[in-house]
């Protein structure tokens, strides 16, 4: 069956903000009856975020309802008295006693002739407008609404790893949307559409350049470049998104002409203060600096014998008078390791570096911690720093761009992975050693007081027409924003919203795309690196299988497979002791072979191939079985998608199919390479005698 609103040439550019006509006539009539007029209260005048909200509502009504609402600036009929009936869509600012900037209410009392959006701030009204639009897009009825929302996290941020030359580190969707030929882009139409997408899911901060900032990027906050940066900030401002830049820690030398970047040097402090003053003169709502220091050969405070608190605080002091933040990454480890050295464990590094200085950071510093202790592998335990730090602000960093998860050539929907991370519980988190808290409640500040916190995702966006290369990878961006707003949202709910908004309401499409997305992370895990072992990919570009690619490298990324067994012993009893970085309950769970979850067994233990998992299967048989199963699942995803021929618009259908074909080919290669590797190492045959290339 063909669905109304199919455009054969749909490029994916509109992402989930497609605003296709509503075809259900009773729903259409219900919305039309309520949305003929948009009234912005006088209190909202001059607020550019409210102007953006009104503009978006008009656009949505035109697309979905086929009407052009009249715009009015009279005082709303509903006013602040909820018993009075609003007429049309009314937007009003009110003073309310609520916690976070961005909160809002949407009300349409039964029998009403309109819908009232109210918030404390303009950005709240913008979010309310996008929420109402989402209700239209997802087919929800507009009557009897009594919605009250507030973001769980203060910071809901994206990090772009974009370079000034227009390339994107770990980017799989074309070139940068921010930079071209060494400059910030002049044509900002695309950035405006990006800002709309971000605001629609509540993202409110964005670092526009790579954490690996070179000399060119260091100059972004100087002279003419600063004027360009101000222009970019102005594009995002109406959408409630603050701009941050990544800085090069050595820029007092490279840009400032000083002889040192020592954070305790008065000249260096002066340099940062002058920079901060100049930035805020140009961009009054500038977010602050993102810093990768002493990491992967980057400069940092260690060069001067200073610790990371001293390193961050000099920046914090410069930004504090302006309300700016320092986001300081904890991705600090030795990348020049000798593979024969089994006592150094990269997984331990962040905790070992940052725990001793807990409590020494300024109030406007936030430590940005990757979800796992190593580096965005398909499966890692949650970083123990979240449970360990007590007196420091923290942000959770996840990777939306699919560096290690198929590079947007493979479908790998990461919302279920992030949900698991957010739901992981630490014990003994209060000072008296009691209390239990999830990662979600730690980073939001609900579990212990913090002056700032939240979630960060490394963006998966480039200048490809559909933004993310793989059409279905848009769902990861959408889902990141939704989870950062409300970490308790179920994966299935986020998936259904996105699928309806992006592909319409055909139940077969909804079911098939939903199943494909929701199963894809575990499928990817099955045909790639097993049981938490990680790092079996090709070095450098990180695509495709190579079991020993990182085994004898300096990067600290080993699995130690030999003819007897595989896995990294991170126990206290016989290994690196990493497991002791967790609270006693979690440490005990990981330390013991009996209680360590199967999916992380090889992260914590080195075991013989015939070791029996909690599932009852042996390690070696599990490896064979999951690799066959993973490929079968990819084949099933592709078959499912092919059933949608003629139902999904032609171009997106074809382009997704091409990616699934590639995924099937590559998953088969992963299966064969990994199974062959372990057969050769272990000499243990597959009990089911399937073809493995011995």
- Residues of this chain that interact with ligand GCV (CB under 6 A) are 161, 169-170, 210-212, 292, 331, 375, 403
**Tokens 């430590």 -> residue:** 367
Instruction: Classify residue 685 by its DSSP letter.
Output: P
CB contact at 8 A, 238 and 51: yes
Determine whether 169 is an active site residue. no
Determine whether 345 is an active site residue. no
The number of CA neighbours under 13 Å toward the Cβ of 600 is: 19
Instruction: Output the six-digit token pair for 606.
Output: 């080195």
Q: Which residues of 472-506 are buried (b: 16+ CB within 10 A; e: fewer)?
A: bbbbbbbbbbbbbbbbebebeebbbbbbbbbbbbb
> Nearer to ligand GCV by C-beta: 331 or 426?
331
What's the closest the beta carbon of residue 212 comes to ligand GCV, in angstroms? 5
> Nearer to ligand GCV by C-beta: 178 or 331?
331
* Residues whose CB is less than 8 angstroms from the CB of residue 626 and which lie 6 or more positions away in sequence, other chains included: 525, 526, 527, 530
d(CA 661, CA 647): 19
Q: Where are the alpha helices (DSSP H) in 45-121?
A: 48-60
| Per annotation, catalytic residue among 225, 403, 583, 633 | 403
What's the closest the beta carbon of residue 529 comes to ligand GCV, in angstroms? 16
| Per annotation, catalytic residue among 24, 94, 259, 296 | 296
Name the 3-class secondary structure at 114.
strand
> Nearer to ligand GCV by C-beta: 210 or 405?
210
Instruction: Output the six-digit token pair for 351.
Output: 């905790």
Name the 3-class secondary structure at 601.
helix
> Nearer to ligand GCV by C-beta: 35 or 473?
473
The sign one gets for the Cα dihedral 655, 658, 664, 667 is negative
| Per annotation, catalytic residue among 375, 599, 625, 686 | 375
What's the closest the beta carbon of residue 335 comes to ligand GCV, in angstroms? 8
144, burial (CB in 10 Å: exposed 0-12, middle 13-18, buried 19+) = exposed
CA nearest to 502, candidates 456, 465, 471: 471
CB contact at 8 A, 458 and 476: no
Query: In Å, what is the CA distance from 448 to each residue of 325, 393, 396, 440?
Result: 20, 10, 15, 11
> Nearer to ligand GCV by C-beta: 160 or 410?
160
* Residues whose CB is less than 8 angstroms from the CB of residue 606 and which lie 6 or more positions away in sequence, other chains included: 560, 565, 566, 567, 568, 569, 575
Write phi, then psi, for 567 (nearest 5 degrees): 120, 165
Instruction: Classify residue 648 by its DSSP letter.
Output: B
> Nearer to ligand GCV by C-beta: 239 or 333?
333
CA nearest to 201, candidates 463, 483, 502, 474: 483
Instruction: Output the six-digit token pair for 689.
Output: 């005698």
* Residues whose CB is less than 8 angstroms from the CB of residue 323 and which lie 6 or more positions away in sequence, other chains included: 364
**Tokens 């399937």 -> residue:** 690
Instruction: Indicate the helix (H) or strand (E) that contains 328.
Output: strand 325-329
Per-residue three-class SS string for 361-426: CCCCEEEEEECCCCCCCCCCCCCCHHHHCCCCEEEEEEECCCCCCCCCCCCCCCHHHHHHHHHCEE
> Nearer to ligand GCV by C-beta: 399 or 474?
399
What's the closest the beta carbon of residue 345 comes to ligand GCV, in angstroms? 17
Stated length of the chain: 694
d(CA 392, CA 302): 20
> Nearer to ligand GCV by C-beta: 242 or 292?
292
Determine whether 296 is an active site residue. yes
Give catalytic residue positions: 296, 375, 403
């Amino acid at each position: 069956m063909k669905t109304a609103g199919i455009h054969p040439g749909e490029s994916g550019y509109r992402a989930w903000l497609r605003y296709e006509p509503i075809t259900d006539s009773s729903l259409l009539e219900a919305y039309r009856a309520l949305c003929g007029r948009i009234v912005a209260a006088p209190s909202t005048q001059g607020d550019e975020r409210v102007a953006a909200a009104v503009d978006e509502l008009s656009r949505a009504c035109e697309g979905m309802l086929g009407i052009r609402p009249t715009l009015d600036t009279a005082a709303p009929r509903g006013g602040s008295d909820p018993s009075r009936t609003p007429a049309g869509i009314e937007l009003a600012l009110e003073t309310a006693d609520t916690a976070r900037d961005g909160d809002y209410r949407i009300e349409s009392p039964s029998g009403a002739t309109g819908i009232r959006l109210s918030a404390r701030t303009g950005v709240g009204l913008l979010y309310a407008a996008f929420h109402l639009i989402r209700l239209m897009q997802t087919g929800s009825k507009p009557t009897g609404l009594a919605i009250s929302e507030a973001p769980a996290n203060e910071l809901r941020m994206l990090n772009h790893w974009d370079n000034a030359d227009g390339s994107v580190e770990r980017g799989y969707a074309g070139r940068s949307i921010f930079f071209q030929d060494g400059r910030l882009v002049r044509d900002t139409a695309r950035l405006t559409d990006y800002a709309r997408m971000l605001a629609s899911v509540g993202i409110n901060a964005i670092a526009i350049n790579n954490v690996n900032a070179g000399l060119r990027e260091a100059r972004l906050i100087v002279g003419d470049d600063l004027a360009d940066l101000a222009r970019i900030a102005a594009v995002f401002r109406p959408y409630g998104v603050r701009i941050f830049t990544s800085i090069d820690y050595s820029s007092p030398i490279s840009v400032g002409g000083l002889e040192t970047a020592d954070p305790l040097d008065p000249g260096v402090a002066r340099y940062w203060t002058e920079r901060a003053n100049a930035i805020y003169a140009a961009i009054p709502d500038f977010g602050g600096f993102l810093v990768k220091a002493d990491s992967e050969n980057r400069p940092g405070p260690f060069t001067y014998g200073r610790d990371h608190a001293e390193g961050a605080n000099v920046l914090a002091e410069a930004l504090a008078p302006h309300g700016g933040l320092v986001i300081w990454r904890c991705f600090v480890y030795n990348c020049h390791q000798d593979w024969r050295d089994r006592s150094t464990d990269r997984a331990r590094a962040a905790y070992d570096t940052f725990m001793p200085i807990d409590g020494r950071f300024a109030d406007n510093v936030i430590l940005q911690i990757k979800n796992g202790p190593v580096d965005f592998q398909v499966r890692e335990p949650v970083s123990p720093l979240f449970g360990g730090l007590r007196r420091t602000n923290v942000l959770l960093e996840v990777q939306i761009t699919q560096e290690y998860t198929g590079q947007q050539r493979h479908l790998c929907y990461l919302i279920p992975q992030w949900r698991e991370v957010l739901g992981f519980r630490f014990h003994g988190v209060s000072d008296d050693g009691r209390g239990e808290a999830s990662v979600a409640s730690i980073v939001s500040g609900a579990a212990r007081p913090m002056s700032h916190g939240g979630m960060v995702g490394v963006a998966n966006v480039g200048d490809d027409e559909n933004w993310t290369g793989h059409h279905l990878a848009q769902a990861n961006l959408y889902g990141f924003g939704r989870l950062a707003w409300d970490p308790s949202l179920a994966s299935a709910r986020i998936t259904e919203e996105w699928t309806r908004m992006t592909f319409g309401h055909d139940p077969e499409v909804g079911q098939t795309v939903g199943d494909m997305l929701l199963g894809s992370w575990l499928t990817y895990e099955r045909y790639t690196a097993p049981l938490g072992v990680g790092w079996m990919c090709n070095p450098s570009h990180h695509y495709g299988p190579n079991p020993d690619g990182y085994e004898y490298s300096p990067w600290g990324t080993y699995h130690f497979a030999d003819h007897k067994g595989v896995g990294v012993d991170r126990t206290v009893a016989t290994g690196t002791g990493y497991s002791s970085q967790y609270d006693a309950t979690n440490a005990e769970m990981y330390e013991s072979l009996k209680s360590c979850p199967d999916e992380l067994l090889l992260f914590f233990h080195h075991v013989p191939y015939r070791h029996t998992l909690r599932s009852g299967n042996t390690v070696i048989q599990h490896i064979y079985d999951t690799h066959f199963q993973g490929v079968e699942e990819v084949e099933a995803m592709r078959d499912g998608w092919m059933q949608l021929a003629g139902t999904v618009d032609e171009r997106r259908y074809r382009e997704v199919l091409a990616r699934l074909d590639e995924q099937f080919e590559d998953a088969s290669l992963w299966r064969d390479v990994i199974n062959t590797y372990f057969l050769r190492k272990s000499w243990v045959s597959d009990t089911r005698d399937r073809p493995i290339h011995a």
